[in-house]
Amino acid sequence: DESALRAHLATTLSSAVMPSAFLWLDALPLTVNGKVDRGALAALADQDLADRQVNLGSPRDHIELTLYQIWKDLLLVPQIGIRDNFFNVGGTSIAAIKMAYEIGRAFSVEVPVRVILGPPTIEALGGWLRSGASLAAAQDNLIEFRRGAGQRNVVCIHPAGGTAFCYLSLAKELPESIGVYGVQSPGLNPGESTEPSVEAMADAYLRRIAALTSQPLVLTGLSFGGLVAYEMARRLTAAGHRQVTVVLLDTQGSDDPGFRQQIGTVDMAEFRDKLVRFNGMYPGIEDAQVERYFPLYNHNRLAMAAYECAPQAGRIVLIQAREGFTRPQLHELRSFWRRRAGNGYKARLVHGGHWDMLESAEVHRVSQTLRQELQRFDTQEAQ
């Protein structure tokens, strides 16, 4: 039973690494020497994919045909329909950024991340291109991963790199009833101006999500994104909002005056190295894209260095990565955030390093924590 197998794997694997298809065999094909015949196994897999029922809506014009060809080069699925969801037919965040670049090159347009994420079908992308690729609508920095039932929402704030792609796996892990949104950095798209500080970002982002703040809300962010999420939560609680929790994903901080002084800009070589090591930010992008995102990354680092983290009246949850920190460092960070929590505090550890919590099976643990915080709102309302 494929559904039972998927349910079992979901307890240990994140949606990002969940197999998109399963092939059932009575026995593995073997060579005459008794070893697994990998060639025969690959052929069986190819045939199985070819036999699968896929949305076979065919491209209807040259725009959809070009998009179809781009998808076919990026994905392993032999048959792709114009209404297939990119992420349901083998697409990943890595492939999505490559797709944005290839579409931009094919049609001589800038393709913002928002366009790729919603909805990610050939039909929808074709409609956007036919409409003149309206950048005014596409450059809205609020991304709707899922609308949900409108009763509980999670808003994910971009890390220093500016994109919200790193939260794709987390969004998939959360229940369908939960609204999940991503906020991307101003300056990510051509012609945009950046916000000058963490405080200014918090104000701008709160204006953008104003419609969501009347419902119970979890604000979360990885690293730098956690700082902005924290400042947003601080302002909401100061304004009287009581059903707001901020979940910090490995967000660093210290009362040591020298801590922020050590946060400076990086050069292009170091930035490229980060792209290789932390591919959740900008995996597989081209030089032109790197050159545009590089100053934005440094801008956000300087905003981080300038931010003074004042205490707030709300609840704080800290999720820390084990790898790369000593036990005293982990305890010091917990103490730092505990001193800033006015209405409850919790900390938990996940395995792996900084990016692993969103790019490995650990994303399941992160999603569990978010669910628990959302359930706390239900308990509060029942009292």
The answer to whether the CB of 147 falls within 8 A of the CB of 175 is: no
pLDDT score at 191: 77
- Scan for tokens 């090159």, then name that residue: 105
Separation of alpha carbons 189 and 113, rounded Å: 9
Average pLDDT of adjacent 10-residue blocks, the chain of 383 residues: 61 54 80 79 65 60 85 82 84 82 86 76 88 59 84 95 84 90 86 92 96 95 97 95 95 88 87 65 59 88 94 92 90 95 92 82 91 87 61
User: CA-CA-CA-CA torsion for 129, 131, 136, 141, nearest 10 degrees?
Assistant: -50
For 174-223, the DSSP string reads S-TTSEEEEEPPTTSSTTPPPPSSHHHHHHHHHHHTGGGTTS-EEEEEET
Residue (of 313, 321, 379) closest to 347 by Cα position: 321
88: its two tokens: 């349901």
The whole-model pTM stands at 0.73
Residue 213, token pair as written in the block? 């703040």
* CA distances for 242 relative to 83, 234, 235, 238, 372, angstroms: 41, 11, 11, 9, 17
Pairing verdict, β 179-183 and 142-146:
antiparallel
pLDDT at 249: 97
Q: DSSP state, 144?
A: E
User: How far is Cα 25 from Cα 343, in angstroms, rounded to an integer?
Assistant: 54
Helix axes 62-74, 93-107, angle to 10 degrees: 140
Q: Is the dihedral of CA 117, 122, 127, 128 positive or negative?
A: positive
| Both structure tokens of 168 | 């794709």
| Phi-psi domain of 62 (left: phi exceeds 0; alpha: psi -120 through 50; beta: other) | alpha
Query: Domains in the chain, ordered, with CATH?
Result: 2-130 (1.10.1200.10), 141-382 (3.40.50.1820)
